[in-house]
Structure 1
Amino acid sequence: MSAGTPVWGRVEQQDFRSRVRGTLLGGALGDALGAPVASLALDEVRTAHGPEGIGDLVPAYGRRGAVTAATQLTLFTVDGLIRAQVRRDTGAWHPPTDVHRAHLRWAVTQREWGPDERRKDDGWLAREEWLYARRDPDRALLTGFGDERLGTLEAPKNPTERGPSATTRSAPFGLLVGWEPQLVLQLAVECAAQTHGHPTAYLSAGAFAVLVHALARGESLDAGVQRALALLATRPGHQPVTDALQQALGAVRQGIPTAGRVDELAADRTAEAALGAAVYAALVCEDIRHGLRLAVNHGGDSAAVGALAGALLGAMHGETALPPAWVAELEGRATLLELADDFAMEMTQGAALHGPGASSPGWLARYPRA
């Protein structure tokens, strides 16, 4: 794999930083908004939260603004991508391996009570104590990251798993704005196959990354969907994902957005269903608050659809469009912001931080090459 090198002026750097923050915070907000109703049918959501459904952050896991394993893993995806860039200085350039190692560090947080200071090479993210909470990871995540074997597309892990958990951790791949879209898709697909080896699951992850990539470059979501459809067309097993995206586009043309349409799109709780529902919500709602509410009020996996829609809307509009009151209550907000800013710095100023001739022991302590 190879990556391009964008030219970064001050305005471009500020815009990119805002979109990175928007993507990570938006995804986490959608995850937190949907978490309390993720297992409920639409009528149960309305019974619990009124005829309009859930409209504000409510407690899950004992607090308002709590996130699920989807946000935890998204953070470790970012960590892995930064580590891949840092390790590139040594001549070691295989991002799927570095992302996989980062996801294995997440798996440790699900087995242990808290950080182990003896593991110096884990970097700063693995020392964040709040990430050691277990937040309903699905079986495929625990088994996929249960050993260190790196799966391949020819021999993926959990080849029958079709859930959305690999897709919901894949937004960061789309923030590699210097890469070509087909490489973004390929990286997301290879990393998704470590836990969700069914083609519709890993291709949904790849398509989602392509959508975020288009938005992070300042393109429209519709343009991103068309590019994703074109790239999917060459991939075996793509038809269910293609159909889900086309159904989302068709639903947009049916008039005023309704929870019923989202419910139809999200109904079977597969990765492609969550992706289609999220794309629909992001296409029909320019206002992020409205879009997130639409994305979580249905009988599908509300946390997954919310996380996907939130990342799309955040990448589209940037950090400043997010509802400030919700952001203030978001679990792990400080960590999300710190990691987002580190990612933006790495992608725009990496050579100055750790390239040839640079001396940045602080950066290498945060993101060790080992």
Structure 2
Amino acid sequence: MSTEPATPAPAPAPTLESRIHGCLLGGALGDSLGYAVEFEDIAGIRAKFGPSGLQDFAALDGGSHFSDDTQLTLYTVDGLMEALEWANSGVGADTNACLWLAYLRWLATQGVPVPEAAPFQPPRWIDSHEVLKHRRAPGNACLSGLATGEMGTFYRPVNPDSKGCGTVMRSAPFGLVPYITAEAVYKLSSDAASLTHGHPAARQAAGVFSLLIHALASGLDLHDAARNAIGRLDEGLLHQGEVPDPDLVARLEAALRLSSNGRLLNPEELVRELGEGWVAEEALAVALYAVLATAPAADRPEDGDPEAHFRAAVTLAVNHSGDSDSTASIAGNILGTFYGKDCLPAAWLDALEAPEVIRGMASRLAALTAG
């Protein structure tokens, strides 16, 4: 009779509902922790929180708020939900138009007049929450692109030279819609990015991020999902005649390479190698690096602790000189999708602003998609 200890059964895969909640709440947690230091350089962060920087919500005496990153992510959910509601009632709808109208309603919450030429849309459930009406350092391109009153497209771009990270940080929800192809996910995400940003890197980074979320929601592991999403840039998902943006490809390949060298970059090295995160390709690269570099060894996934991984990745994505809330928000979206909601630290959730609003949007999306 063998005395070998029994191999523990693998944990069951998270449900889609758990992944949706994990993605939206995880992104909000990263956003909130990072927003507390968004405009601080690493020297200022260390001076305030110690040599390791900001590691926990407990260090924030006054708490923290989520930023426009979470606001726009939830409005992305709302635009997708409206399109799904029309589809479920048997009526086809222009998904990008639904998203544009949702973003215009967000624009009105930021104290920016909605152009008179823009179509009127009645308020929806999301619009009733005051927490989503606070101005939390919204991106200039998101504001100016929507304020034109023009529905930006690939062929008629607004802000044609802008590649700010405002496209990436709001695009996780496109990957949470099941039963659609990777091609459809990429198109939804990149078309929605064109509503505010015209630079190829902004569109393509948003599309790759949504593909990564889609792959994780479909059950791929972190490394396979990352390679799959990045590889799709060369597989015909781009608009006809468009080529992969070289800066985006270089940053993402660097994130993969650096995450496998067995040593965590310090904050100065992180910025030098991958950037500060203010533009789309840098924000995605920093977040991807943070997630992969802190993951358990590929050959020993059983050694991993999902909550510890979430904490390590988010705090790595927070502590650098740059756009800390966006990089940490993207990292939180990724791991929340991968592990589901059980990876989220309970104490952090207790500190989260208005979790009922985020859970409310997650539950509504899950009801429309997960059954």
For the aligned pair, the TM-score class normalised by the smaller chain equals 0.7 to 0.9
How far has the Cα of 1:120 moved from its partner? 8.4
Describe the superposition over 1:308-337 as per-residue Cα deviations: whole angstroms up to 9, x where unpaired: 001001111110110111111111200100
Report what 1:254 is aligned to: 261
Structure 2 unaligned blocks of 5 or more: 1-11, 114-119, 296-308
The sequence identity of aligned pairs, in percent, is: 34
Match of 1:342 in 2: 364
> Residues 344 and 270 (structure 1 numbering): CA distance in 2 closer, same or farther, change over 3 Å?
same
CA RMSD in angstroms comes to 2.1
| Deviations 1:287-346, CA, capped at 9 Å, x for gaps | 101111111111121111000001001111110110111111111200100110110110
The question of whether the paired residues in 2 share the 8 Å contact of 1:59 and 1:65 is answered with: no
- How far off is 1:59 after superposition? 8.6
Distance in 2 (CA, whole Å) between partners of 1:66 and 1:307 is 13
Q: What does residue 273 of structure 1 align with?
A: 282
Q: Given that residues 70 and 168 in structure 1 are in contact (C-alpha distance below 8 angstroms), is that contact kept between their aligned partners in structure 2?
A: yes
Paired with 2:130 and 2:359, the residues of 1 have a C-alpha distance of 16
Inter-partner Cα distance in structure 1 for 2:162 and 2:59: 29
Asked if the contact 1:33/1:58 (under 8 Å) is kept, the reply is no
Change (3 A) 1:253 1:112: closer
In structure 1, the residue matched to 2:153 is: 152
For 2:191 and 2:134, how far apart are their aligned partners in 1?
Answer: 27
Q: Residue 137 of structure 2 aligns to which amino acid in structure 1? A: D
> 2:185: which partner in 1?
184
Shift of 1:224: 1.9
Counterpart-to-counterpart distance in 1, 2:62 and 2:86? 38
Question: Does the CA-based 8 Å contact 2:277-2:286 persist in structure 1?
Answer: no
Instruction: Summarize the Cα distance change of 1:63–1:159 in structure 2 as closer, same or farther, 3 Å threshold.
Output: farther
Going from structure 1 to structure 2, the CA distance change for 1:125 and 1:59 (only over 3 Å counts) comes to farther
- 2: CA distance between counterparts of 1:220 and 1:177? 17
Asked whether the 8 Å contact 1:266–1:298 carries over to 2, the reply is: no
User: 1:329–1:253: structure 2 CA closer, same or farther, 3 Å change rule?
Assistant: same
Inter-partner Cα distance in structure 2 for 1:165 and 1:300: 14
Between the aligned partners of 2:277 and 2:73, the Cα distance in structure 1 is: 23
Deviation at 1:230, TM superposition (A): 2.4
**Matched residue, 2:346:** 324
Paired residues, number: 332
**Which residues of 2 match residues 165-244 of structure 1 at below 5 A?**
165-233=166-234, 234=236, 235=238, 236-244=243-251
Deviations 1:238-281 (A, max 9, x none): 22111111100110122221333433313363210110110011
Match in the other structure for 1:31:
31
Separation in 2, partners of 1:161, 1:51: 35
Structure 1 unaligned blocks of 5 or more: 1-10, 114-118, 350-370
The 1:228–1:238 alpha-carbon spacing in structure 2 relative to 1, beyond 3 Å, is: farther
Q: What whole-Å deviation, never above 9, does each CA across 1:6-57 have from its counterpart, x for those lacking one?
A: xxxxx98x71111000000010111011112112222222122110011112
Cα distance in 1 for residues equivalent to 2:110 and 2:204: 26
Are residues 1:81 and 2:89 paired? no
What's 2:116 paired with?
A: none
State the partner residue of 1:66.
Answer: 65
| 2:293 alignment counterpart | 284
Measure, in 2, the Cα distance between the counterparts of 1:129 and 1:270: 29
Alignment of 1:296-315 (within 5 A): 296-315=318-337
Q: Report the Cα distance in structure 1 between the residues aligned to 2:131 and 2:313, rounded to whole angstroms.
A: 28
TM-score, with normalisation over the residues of structure 2? 0.85
